[in-house]
A = this chain, B = another copy of it.
Amino acid sequence: MAIRDKGTEQRIMDTAKHIFFAEGKLNATTQDIADAAGVSRTLVNYYFRSVDSLIDRVYREAMADLSLRLDKVMESDAPFKEKVAIFIEVFAELAIKYPYQETFVVKDINTADNAFTDEDRQVKTEIFLKQIKAEMDAGHIEQMNPIHFMMNLFALMSYPMIMRPMFMRIFKLDNEQFKQLIEERKALIFKTIFR
C-alpha cells in the first residue's frame, strides 16, 4: 500500500493505522500487523512493548492529526458559517482516508483508559461553544444549549459513516451510491443545522 520506509517503528505505526482505520479490521492481531508491515512480530514488542501501548500510540497520533486540522479552523478568524463548512469538509475527507477510525473509537470508548480527551481539548471545545452561543445571541442560529449544536453537527456527519454497512444493506445501496449520498449530505447538513 505504498507506505514510506521512514524507519521500522514508523512503518509499524502506519501499517497498524491502515489496518485498523482504513481496512476496518478491528480485531487485527500483532501478527497481522507484523505480517502487513513485513517484519517479525517480535519487533512490535521491541518498539512498542505491548499491544496496548501500540494501540494507545496509534490513537494519540490519529487524534493529534485530527485535532490539528480542527483546531486550525476553530481558532481562525473565518466567519462562523465558513468554519462549520470546513468542519464538515474535514470530516468528509477523514471518512475517505480512514472510514473506520470512528468505529474504532466507539469500540474502545468504554474499555480503555483512553485519555485521548485531554485538558487542552476541553478548553478548545469551550471556546468553540462560546462562539456558537454568540451566533445564537446574534440571531444567526436557533437558541439552544450550544452542546446540542455540536452534537448535531458531529452526529449528522459521523453516524452514517459508522453505520455504513448497515445503511448499505437496509437501503440496498452500492459503494458508488453511498459515496454519492455522503457527498449530498455536506450541503444538506449545512442547511439543516442553520435551519
A contact residues vs B (CB 8 Å cutoff): 24, 26-27, 100, 103, 105-107, 109-111, 117, 121-122, 125, 142, 144-145, 147-148, 151-152, 154-156, 158-160, 162-163, 165-167, 169-172, 181, 184-185, 188, 191-193, 195
Contact = CB atoms under 8 A, between A and B. Distances in A.
Contacts of A184: 145, 148
Contact of A156 (B103, B156, B188): B156
Contacts of A155: 155-156, 158-160
A121 B170 contact: yes
Copy count, this protein chain:
2
Given A106-B103, A107-B26, A110-B100, A156 B152 contact: yes
A148 B185 contact: yes
Nearest to A188: B148
A169 B106 contact: no
Main secondary structure, interface of A, reads helix
Nearest to A171: B147
Nearest to A165: B109
Contact of A160 (B142, B145, B151, B188): B151
A181 B145 contact: yes
Contacts of A171: 125, 147
A144 B188 contact: yes
